[in-house]
Structure 1
């Protein structure tokens, strides 16, 4: 569905803001002091205020905002979630009723970074065990000999806001810092005084490894039995990001064996995590998902959403909006095919281009070049970032997320459309490579990919797609079909592009189901196949 942000006009009447969950009063003070805002502290389920008179709703995690609740609030314009996750909000119902939903993605950055560093120092110096020993009346000085952080190497896996803050603290302790992140450019690495490396180097060279990557299909179980064996003997691991990135059973075994000397865990695959096996191990520090639980963080998230809600009610845009009201039916009908194409182009390039991105350039030709293309840029970015961001990303917040990661976005309008009524070219520039993908669309067929780099073809994107780079030799296509058939994977469509006979070539195939990793690995054994990328749309 296509969306567009709509500001709320100011009126002279008081806006009623219902605060349904407990929030920091200091954080809410700017709204409470406003002469235009009437702040009501009552649960949405028991409030004595008529729900039909509520203009804004502020919540944390305790209140669940269902479609039924939203539809009882005809004046509701915005929901502010004082935190990051919005699992307790029916986003579809909010969007369909024209209600903007915002969150506070920045409010707990410092608290999480500080908690992580506290865990790191505690691991290095055995502080929890030493403290417990003292409480039990013992004096075990020799037993709790630790290690200095000075001169040690910290590997930061995922270099967003929290990773950067952790790096700043580690530098103060004169640690050497490695960072692995698909978005990390050389210029940003230099700005934060870290060394960008690939995953293998980070694992093998780090004395401490701290996880700050999103939980995605690619990162789930990223540290598992095999990858943990790539780490230094005696490594320390920390996870204050997301449960599921470390295989907890593999971590348990690695600590028991002594390969992992210690671990600090604040998040778990399944929460609450009472009586978790990791709590049995003296070498593991466990906390109950409290990295963001500080007085300051609670004040920050309350203030951030409250002020943004107030600004939105006064007619200003909502920078942290997670959705947008529906467009009128006729406008949606006009732009839906274009946004479908740009989002598809974004999703494909994100999965094809797995290196730091410095610049995204979108060129429009044909009829589309005469339209306002800002929405199409945001749609492309939403598709591009969806596979790399652990959170709700769409046309609203995509530009903000790209800017935060130092991705420059350039838009061009050109006259040459190669005979297509509408023609879009997306160019992704990294530090070493460039990817170009060209697309068009028709109402009858939908989005079509007509060129990737120098290879021309005509491919209709599908949910399950394989991109194969290969040498143009007899029998390669047959071997691909045979391998897929062996694994009971049916080919729906196939397109091949090549520059000249016997040279480099590409294949795009759509299949009836996703290829598992073991199938992708078998492709690498086929002579003349250079690489295989699994694309999920």
Structure 2
């Protein structure tokens, strides 16, 4: 029986994916797996039994990834599960910035007691008219699950779409509309586009990428949208650009004291993935990732260990080794198994940065003594045996 603990409320639709071999526990102390959304985990102490953490969402800033990796805890996220919800809000953000819908609604509310409101509205509406999206240039920075959906949707709206992503995956490239222009550098987007939306993770290389210099390259009257991570934008530079009028609107899903209330800023209270459908999809994906790892040892969508898949275990015993990515680890593993007369039916090894994962199928039981020998190998972080 596997045990799981939810640090945040997790969609019941997702939790229903667990089979009868899984049971919830009230604390993480005895859990094999943790499901989390936004709860901060950096100060948590992890129990020896904890094998995996699944983030029901894409961002993992609330999880200590290296600390988990060093303890042999695999951290999963759910890329793409909430992509449609974010895409729809990005499109809504562009519409809010192009047509002064918010200003028009506010005018109606302010004049709700006006007996001639219909007639007066005809005079007032020109102040909120705005422009259409069709024919405008949109720059999409980052062509992952969300960026591709935004680019394709904008193309369907008749926008001239430019995409930039030096690390675009084969899967994303296949799903991207052929009408999207592939920019060779991000400056091309800054210089040419009327709307710019950013969809990249918060890494050391991307934090503050929408900088004062980047904004300086943009057209006067540009609209910038940020539904990815707050730290991607230099907010001081953005406030200055809004005040000067260089940036017409900054549409963001991240309220901060610096940006809230600034003229031209359209600030949304982090609603991007806050739809019932997104939460259901993220929970279902997270549960399936955990079950596949706990039962078969397969890793898919991990952020601290490499993806690795040997399919269903079948009748073999599966040995799973999480370790540092250093030379001669496989040689040491196979030497121990050979010394104990264990036949290897299948083996795979993958690495990701400092960490690696080895999966070995053997056609016999694994004595505890052998498992302990493997644990004692230098640079091994965790050994699991599934039979």
**TM-score, normalized by the shorter chain, greater than 0.5:** yes
For residue 175 of structure 1, the aligned residue among 153, 159, 162 is 159
**What CA distance in whole angstroms lies between the structure 1 residues aligned with 2:239 and 2:323?**
54
For residue 334 of structure 1, the aligned residue among 316, 328, 333 is 328
How far does residue 107 in structure 1 lie from its aligned partner after superposition?
1.9
Is it true that 1:295 corresponds to 2:276 in the alignment?
Answer: yes
CA contact (8 A) 1:157 1:212 kept: yes
Aligned partner of residue 150 in structure 1, secondary structure: coil
* TM-score normalised per structure 2: 0.71
Is it true that 1:111 corresponds to 2:108 in the alignment?
Answer: no
- The equivalent of 2:249 in structure 1 is 262
Aligned partner of residue 279 in structure 1, secondary structure: coil
Q: Deviations over 1:214-267 (max 9, x none)?
A: 333443333333332322222111111122332222222222222222221123
CA contact (8 A) 2:151 2:176 kept: no
**What CA distance in whole angstroms lies between the structure 1 residues aligned with 2:92 and 2:98?**
10
Q: Deviations over 1:413-465 (max 9, x none)?
A: xxxxxxxxxxxxxxxxxxxxxxxxxxxxxxxxxxxxxxxxxxxxxxxxxxxxx
**What CA distance in whole angstroms lies between the structure 1 residues aligned with 2:59 and 2:219?**
35
CA contact (8 A) 1:126 1:145 kept: yes
Q: Deviations over 1:372-409 (max 9, x none)?
A: 9953xx44xx48xxxxxxxxxx656xxxxxxxxxxxxx
Q: 1:127 to 1:243 in 2, by over 3 A?
A: same
Q: Deviations over 1:323-369 (max 9, x none)?
A: 4586579x967349xxxxxxxxxxxxxxxxxxxxxxxxxxxxxxxxx
CA contact (8 A) 2:80 2:146 kept: no
**What CA distance in whole angstroms lies between the structure 2 residues aligned with 1:257 and 1:104?**
40
**What CA distance in whole angstroms lies between the structure 2 residues aligned with 1:276 and 1:190?**
37
Moved more, 196-205 or 140-149: 196-205
Q: 1:98 to 1:245 in 2, by over 3 A?
A: closer
- The equivalent of 1:524 in structure 2 is none
* TM-score normalised per structure 1: 0.53
**What CA distance in whole angstroms lies between the structure 1 residues aligned with 2:69 and 2:96?**
45
Cα RMSD after superposing both structures: 3.1
Is it true that 1:163 corresponds to 2:147 in the alignment?
Answer: yes
- The equivalent of 1:196 in structure 2 is 182
Aligned partner of residue 272 in structure 2, secondary structure: coil
Q: Deviations over 1:288-334 (max 9, x none)?
A: 222121111111111111122122222241212334586579x9673
CA contact (8 A) 2:78 2:301 kept: yes
CA contact (8 A) 1:207 1:232 kept: yes
Q: 1:20 to 1:264 in 2, by over 3 A?
A: closer
Q: Deviations over 1:454-484 (max 9, x none)?
A: xxxxxxxxxxxxxxxxxxxxxxxxxxxxxxx
Aligned residue runs from structure 1 range 211-250, under 5 A = 211-250=198-237
CA contact (8 A) 2:322 2:356 kept: no
**What CA distance in whole angstroms lies between the structure 1 residues aligned with 2:229 and 2:323?**
38
Aligned residue runs from structure 1 range 136-535, under 5 A = 136-137=110-111, 139=121, 140-184=124-168, 188=173, 191-192=176-177, 193-197=179-183, 198-267=185-254, 273=256, 275-281=257-263, 283-323=264-304, 334-335=328-329, 374-375=349-350, 378-379=351-352, 382=353, 395=356
Q: 1:305 to 1:277 in 2, by over 3 A?
A: closer
Is it true that 1:38 corresponds to 2:15 in the alignment?
Answer: no
- The equivalent of 1:83 in structure 2 is 57
CA contact (8 A) 1:20 1:63 kept: no
Is it true that 1:64 corresponds to 2:41 in the alignment?
Answer: yes
**What CA distance in whole angstroms lies between the structure 2 residues aligned with 1:95 and 1:191?**
33
CA contact (8 A) 1:178 1:202 kept: yes
Q: 1:89 to 1:174 in 2, by over 3 A?
A: closer
Aligned partner of residue 22 in structure 1, secondary structure: coil
Larger relative contact order (Cα-Cα within 8 Å, sequence gap ≥ 6): 2
**What CA distance in whole angstroms lies between the structure 1 residues aligned with 2:232 and 2:85?**
21
Q: 1:149 to 1:86 in 2, by over 3 A?
A: closer
Aligned partner of residue 313 in structure 1, secondary structure: helix
Q: 1:214 to 1:242 in 2, by over 3 A?
A: same
**What CA distance in whole angstroms lies between the structure 1 residues aligned with 2:63 and 2:12?**
23
Q: For structure 1, which runs of at least 5 residues remain unmatched after alignment?
A: 1-13, 45-50, 337-371, 384-393, 397-537
**What CA distance in whole angstroms lies between the structure 1 residues aligned with 2:175 and 2:288?**
34
Q: What is the total number of aligned residue pairs between the two structures? A: 314
CA contact (8 A) 1:67 1:94 kept: no
CA contact (8 A) 2:78 2:285 kept: yes
